[in-house]
Amino acid sequence: MDKVVGVELSHRFAPIAVRERLALNNEQTIAALQELKKSYEEVFIISTCNRLSIYAYGKSHNEILDYFDKFGNYRQYLSILPDSEIAIRNLFSTAAGLESQAIGEHQITGQIRAGLDLGREYKTIGPILDELIRQSLHTGKRVRLETNIGKFSASLATVGFELITKHDYEMSETTFLVIGTGNMANLVTTVLDRTKIKKLYVASHDITRAKEMAKEWDGEAVDMENMHTALSEANVIIGGTQGEINLLHEETMAESKCPRANFALQAGGHKLFIDFGVPRNFNPSLKNDLNISLYDLDDIKKITYNGLLKRYDEIPLARKLVNEELDWYMIWLRNRKVAPVIEAYWNNMENIKEEELKWLLPKMGDIDEKTKELLSRFTHRLLRKISNPTIDGIKNIAQNIHEQDNPINTAKKILDIEGVDVFVPKKKIIVGTRGSKLALTQTNWIIDQLKKVQPDYEFETKIIRTSGDEGNIDVVGAFTSALQRSMLAGEIDIAIHSYKDIPTEEVVGLRVLPVTPRRDVRDVLISKEGKTLAELPKGAVIGTGSLRRSSQLMQIRPDLEYKFIQGNVEGRIRKMETEGYDAIILAATGLEKMNMLDVATEIFETDVMLPAVGQAILGIELIDQAGDILELVKKLKHEPTKNAADAERAFLIALGGGCNMPIAAYAQATETEISIEGVYASEDGKHFERATISGSIENKKTLARTLATQLKEKIESKRKVVLIDATT
């Protein structure tokens, strides 16, 4: 069944260096629309300096992902919007300014409207997205009218103006050069126009446009190719063009012979550069010059937080309004699915009316046209009143179109409109998942596998926020308990888990099935300077949230410092780059699913580091009762993976540990045999044991418990020796 889907690259997850590589100009946006229209009924694109958002109406978001792949391997930076509710909420939140770099800014609505106009012009937008986009603009307007989210200064233009005043320029003695005459330059110069300045230069690739703007702002136009005089004279230079600029953009400033570039290193007096351009208008190496201050969009993002605090207070009310509009649109979308039935029913009623009037009018004798018109209007009103309850009933059915007895088909029979074809899925399954990119990636993959097994079902993704997402990973079931509560409450039908996150304590009424073949079980090292574990200097800081990993690495490099780190994949990588870590350890399977394995500096084989219990295994949790859902999930069950998961789980339970204990296990199963390798250590890693056991697959749990007992006894024996030595 078709749905609204999307993929987005935005400032939330992608640095400016990535965003500028994927920035689409108008011609590229048109080409993208036309290419994606081959795969989707409807397509809509928002392309701005801070985001590239592609929304479509179709069966899956996968074709949009394939389009992004043409640019290179950027999946780690993408936000997946796999289902109607998720995609629509994201667009409405964007229109409301909740996803903007400057919360609540107004400019995004103009950019959405421009995308709508472009889609209409090139006929890539149909009735579904047209209504969606218009509703998003209405949502943005409503949020700004009913909250104060847009009433505090926090736009990029305002922030740029505040940067100028922060550098203590006397405005009346300051010369400005604005490069570009697009939206961003217009906003900045509008702010500047409120203050008396010494002089304003306006440069553009289009000299005619530059002259028009300069005249409007009482400035002087300069040609882009001949602006070195203006550059030398200007104190503040603002870049806001999305076109390529041969200005301060050479890769190596020191080697450049271009006078327009070298002036920056030679000019006297301090200069302030504010770069709103994507791609960046100014060479980032200018920041190395003591006489220059340069701020690009990422820098501006870092310094806007204080100015946004008041707007943040308005976010809860804004989100409430977004959700109200989302509910309205979802009702409209479901009603539209049954629109052909309603239209056919009404046409039948109209035909009956016309036939009956043909019978009635001749029998009324000689009547005037006014009486005929009155009779026609009367019969039309009568039909409306008679049909309204039926039409409302069909609309109510549309809000729950997945009932087992297919009420839409029943309605078709009752209304005698068998010729209308409306797809009614046999069943709707709501799939619960966490909202992280990794969780969504593996959930979408599992849904694709389920669709292959049962294409007549509809699968809807529902994001559930867990304790782990809030940063509280110390509680049991940090990443699973919220999903389990939703399932028991009937809000979701199944939940997708990383098997290693599932607590050993079972939840009454639920069961978990390990599904699909196991992926790569190994762990990887990502180091800031590209060094392997052996190459890291003594005292280097390794970030890991797992005692299992640190205890094993301590056997190889006890001279390193192992420091706690938490967060999702991209969050940990960001912390490594900004918070004093030299390297971090992550699971290979997570990077592989996000198409990020190339960022790994070193991959540890299992003889170096055993995985966590259940690592690289996916589990589907569901209500523990026979039925269609259980039978469907069973078809994804992979017996060797299940046997390995059962054995590792038994090993973990026997040691009484959870995911935060220094315990590791890796079981490999065939149809008849199983081999289990395990690690058990003290929390400080000083006492460490590793061993292997093998035997018949029928004895998998007994073998796992035996191995656990052996390792535990060895650790306890070592502890006793230490205690005896300490007392003597």
What residues are annotated to the active site?
Answer: 501
Distance, CA of 458 to chain centre: 22
620 φ/ψ sector (left φ>0, alpha ψ -120 to 50, else beta): beta
The identity of residue 179, as a single letter, is I
Q: What is the DSSP string of 618-638?
A: EEEEEESS-SHHHHHHHTTB-
- The two tokens of residue 708 are 């656990």
Task: Single out the residue of 542, 624, 615, 549 nearest to residue 583, CA to CA.
Answer: 542
3-state secondary structure 213-228: HHHHCCCEEEEHHHCH
The C-alpha R_g of the chain, in whole angstroms, comes to 32
Tokens 């108008």 correspond to 26
Distance CA 408, CA 423 (A): 9
Instruction: Identify each DSSP E strand in 520-632 by its residue range.
Output: 523-527, 541-543, 561-563, 583-587, 602-604, 618-623
Distance CA 149, CA 255 (A): 47
HSE-up of residue 550 (Cα within 13 Å, Cβ side):
24
**DSSP assignment letter at 716:** H
Which ranges of 599-699 would DSSP assign to H, the alpha helix? 628-634, 639-655
Distance CA 702, CA 129 (A): 58
Task: Single out the residue of 634, 662, 659 nearest to residue 649, CA to CA.
Answer: 659
Is the link from the previous residue into 279 a cis peptide, with omega within 30 of 0?
yes
Distance CA 363, CA 63 (A): 63
Whole-number Cα distances in Å, 282 to 59, 206, 244, 259, 461 = 42, 19, 10, 14, 42
Distance CA 113, CA 278 (A): 20
Q: What is the DSSP string of 76-136?
A: GGEEEE-SHHHHHHHHHHHHTTTTSSSTT-SHHHHHHHHHHHHHHHTT---HHHHHHHHHH
Distance CA 78, CA 218 (A): 43
Q: b/e string for 586-600 if b means 16 or more Cβ within 10 A?
A: bbbbbbbbbebbeeb
Measured distance between the N- and C-terminal CA atoms of the chain, rounded to whole angstroms: 75
Question: Strand pairing of 494-498 and 510-515?
Answer: unpaired
Distance CA 105, CA 95 (A): 9
HSE-up of residue 638 (Cα within 13 Å, Cβ side):
18
- The answer to whether the beta carbons of residues 271 and 291 sit under 8 Å apart is yes
- The two tokens of residue 502 are 């599932």
3-state secondary structure 250-278: CCCHHHCCCHHHHHHHHCCCCEEEEECCC
479 φ/ψ sector (left φ>0, alpha ψ -120 to 50, else beta): alpha
Phi, psi at 309, each rounded to 5°:
-60, -40
Query: Which helix (H) or strand (E) element contains residue 374?
Result: helix 369-398
